[in-house]
Amino acid sequence: MAREFSTVGVVGLGTMGAGIVEVFARNGIDVVAVEISAPALERGRATLKGSTDRAVAKGKLAEADRDALHERVHFAVGLDALHSVDLVIEAVPEHLDLKQRIFAELDRVCRPETILATNTSSLSVTEISVATSRPNQVIGIHFFNPAPVMKLVEVVRTVVTAPEVVADVEALCARLGKVDVTINDRAGFIANALLFGYLNHAVGMFESHYATREDIDAAMKLGCGLPMGPLALMDLIGLDTAYEILDTMYRRGGRDRRHAPVPLLKQMVTAGLLGRKSGRGFYTYERPGSPVVVPDEATPLATDGALADGARAIAKVGVVGSGTMATGIIEVFAKAGYEVVSVTRGMEKSAKVCEAVKTSLNKGVVRGKLSEADRDAALGRISWSATLDHLADVDLVVEAVVEELSVKKALFASLDEICKPGVVLATTTSSLPVIDVAMATHRPADVVGLHFFNPAPVMPLVEVVRTIRTSPEATATARAVCAALGKTGVVCGDRSGFIVNALLFPYLNDAVKMLEASYSTADDIDHAMKLGCGYPMGPFELLDVVGLDVSLAIQRELYLELREPGFAPAPLLEHLVTAGYLGRKTRRGFRDHSHR
C-alpha cells in the first residue's frame, strides 16, 4: 500500500512553487507554504490568489472550491514550520549551493520518515541528496510550468533512492491527476535534455543572422505545429534560467557542444534582457511580466501591396513534376488565381496529375471548403503539357522533381535556355544545396528555393531559400508569391535543412540516442514531449510517420555539412533502417504498426 500524504510542505513560492501549492491544495491535501521573508511570503500568497481567481473567472473552479483550497494552505516564514509534514518539495532558484543548504536544514527540521523532494529541472538530484543524512529518501519531482495546467511530472530517482519512496511518489502523482515518467538522475532529465539543445540551436541561428526571430518562430509553429516558436519560448522561460539550465547540462552531460550556451545568450543575460519578466528579451514586451509583444527596431516593416521591395509581377506559373508535391503545388497556385502550366514527362503522367488535382479539388467541394464554381475556375486555369518548351512565357517556374542533384541541374540548364529573362526559377528541394542548382544556369541571381511542406494545399509554411547569388528582387518576388498564396514565407540562407529540418531533426536524433542509452522508453519520451512541452506528437510517433529512412538521410546531410559531432546519426536509427524497419510505411519502426 502506498503511503498516505496528508500534509505537504512547499519551499519557495515563486511562479513554480505557488503553482505546486495550488496543485496539492486543489486535490484536498493540506499545504505548509514557506518563504524566506514576510514580503516574499506575501508575493507567493498573491500569486496563488491571482491564479485561483483567474480559474474562477474562467469557470474552471467554483468559488466554494477556491475558498476551501485557500483554507488548506498555511503560510509561514522559515523552514521550522515544516517539522511535521509528510513530504517537502523545494522550488527555489536553480543554484546547487542554495538547494544543498536548504536540504541540510530540512534534514534537521523534518521527521525521519519525511520524504524530501526537489523540483530542479537541471541540477543533480544526487548532489542535492548528499547534503542530508537520508539520501535514500530524497527524490526529484519535476513539475512543469504552469503546474496546475501541465499534466507531466518527471519523477527522478537517484542510485540510492529507496524503491518504496519512488512507488509512494508515483501513487501521489496519480492522485494529483498527473502523468508521471520515472527516470534516473541525468542532466536535463527527458524534456529539458531534448528541448534545450533545440532552443540553443535556434538562438545560434538567430545570432548568425541566418533568419530573423519572426521567421525562426513562425517556421517552427507552422512547420511543426508547436505551440510557440523557440525564441518566444526562451523569453517565456527567462533567458537567465535558460542559460543556467544549458550551462548545467553542458557541464554535467558530457560537455556536448550543443548544450554550450550560445555567446549571445550570456550577453543578453548580462545586459538584463531576460525575456518577458524584464520586458525585453528576443522580443520587446508592453511592460515587464506582460505577454504582449510590441514593435521595436528589429520588427519587420509591413509592406504595402504585393510588389513591394522590387518584387516582380507574376501572372503565369510553370510547375515541373508529377509527384504528390507537384500536384499539391499546382492546386495551390490554381486556387489562388494564377494561370498554371503543368509539365510532366509524358502525357500519361499528365493525365494522372490532372486526375489527382481534380480529386483533391472535389474533396474541397464535398467538405464545403470550395464552391463548385471556384473548383471549375481553378481547373480552367491549368494547362497540361509534356514538354518544357511550353514554359517559354511563364513568369515563375517551380520545380518539384525527384531529389537528385544531377536531375535537378539538368532541368535547370534546360529552363535557362527556354525561359524568358527575369523569370524566377524556384526549386522545392528540402535537402540539396540550392546554389548547386542555381549554378547550372547562367542566371543564378534569379534562382531561389521555395520549400513547400506536405501536403502543400494544407500546410501554411513555405521556406524561401536565398543563395549567396540570389538577388533581393528574386527573394522579394518569392515572398510576395507566398503571401498571394495565403502562405507564410520565411526567408533563410542556403544551409542544409533550412530552418525547420535543421532544428527538428537533431532533436529527433537526440531522442533516439536517449532511447538507445536505455535512459527511458519510447512511450515515456513521447509522453514527456507532448505533455511537458505541448508538442503535437512525440519524437518516436513523428519519426515513424516521417519514415526512418527519410529521417536518417536528412540527419546525414546535416552532419556532413556542419560536421557537428552531436549531429552524427544515432546508431540505433541506422540499424533500424538497415533492418528495413522504416516506420508506418513498412508497418514497423520504433513501434509495431501491424495491428493498427
- Residue in 119, 121, 278, 520 annotated catalytic: 121
Residue with cell 506575501: 42
- Is pLDDT larger for residue 435 or for residue 188? 435
Q: What is the mean pLDDT of residues 426-438?
A: 94
- Residue in 51, 90, 124, 142 annotated catalytic: 142
**Nearest alpha-carbon partner for 511 in 198, 222, 231:** 198
pLDDT at 182: 94
Q: What is the mean pLDDT of residues 345-370?
A: 94
- Residue in 154, 214, 331, 399 annotated catalytic: 154
Catalytic residue status for 501: no
Kindly indicate the confidence band of residue 186, based on its pLDDT and cuts at 50, 70 and 90: confident
pLDDT at 304: 46
CA dist 145 → 59, 285, 293, 336, 532 (Å): 21, 20, 20, 42, 9
Q: For 27, which DSSP code?
A: T
Give the count of alpha carbons within 13 A of 403, CB side only. 12
pLDDT in tens, 539-566: 999 999 999 999 999 999 899 988 888 8
pLDDT at 430: 87
CB under 8 Å to 203, separation ≥6 — which residues? 230, 231, 234, 262, 264, 265
pLDDT at 305: 45
Asked if pLDDT for residue 326 goes beyond 80, the answer is yes
pLDDT in tens, 27-43: 999 999 999 999 999 99
Percent of the chain with pLDDT over 70: 98
pLDDT at 540: 97
pLDDT at 562: 83
Q: Estimate the share of the chain in helix, then strand, then coil, as percent rounded to the nearest 5.
A: 50, 15, 35
Q: What is the mean pLDDT of residues 378-389?
A: 95
- Residue in 51, 122, 124, 192 annotated catalytic: 192
Q: Find the Cα–Cα–Cα–Cα dihedral 235, 241, 246, 249, rounded to 10°.
A: -140
Asked if pLDDT for residue 143 goes beyond 90, the answer is yes
Which residue type is seen at 372?
E
Asked if pLDDT for residue 483 goes beyond 70, the answer is yes
Q: What backbone phi and psi angles, to 5 degrees, belong to 466?
A: -105, 135
Catalytic residue status for 214: no
Catalytic residue status for 154: yes
Q: What is the mean pLDDT of residues 494-508?
A: 94
Cα angle at 198 between 559 and 564, to 5 degrees?
25
Whole-number average pLDDT of the chain: 94
pLDDT in tens, 277-313: 999 999 999 999 899 999 999 998 765 444 556 899 9
pLDDT in tens, 120-134: 988 999 999 999 999
Asked if pLDDT for residue 377 goes beyond 70, the answer is yes
Question: How many angstroms from the chain centroid is the CA of residue 476?
Answer: 27
pLDDT at 566: 84
Extended strands (E) in 453-557 = 461-466, 488-493
**Nearest alpha-carbon partner for 197 in 495, 591, 565:** 565
Helices (H), 226-277: 230-237, 239-252, 263-270
Rounded-to-integer distance, Cα 125 and Cα 248, Å? 13
CB under 8 Å to 580, separation ≥6 — which residues? 586, 588
Asked if pLDDT for residue 481 goes beyond 60, the answer is yes
Catalytic residue status for 142: yes
pLDDT in tens, 96-117: 999 999 999 999 999 999 999 9
pLDDT at 198: 95
Kindly indicate the confidence band of residue 596, based on its pLDDT and cuts at 50, 70 and 90: low
Q: What backbone phi and psi angles, to 5 degrees, belong to 525?
A: -65, -45
Rounded-to-integer distance, Cα 86 and Cα 73, Å? 15
Burial class from Cβ neighbours inside 10 Å (0-12, 13-18, 19+) for residue 145 reads middle
Rounded-to-integer distance, Cα 507 and Cα 555, Å? 10
Rounded-to-integer distance, Cα 91 and Cα 71, Å? 22
Q: What is the mean pLDDT of residues 556-577?
A: 92
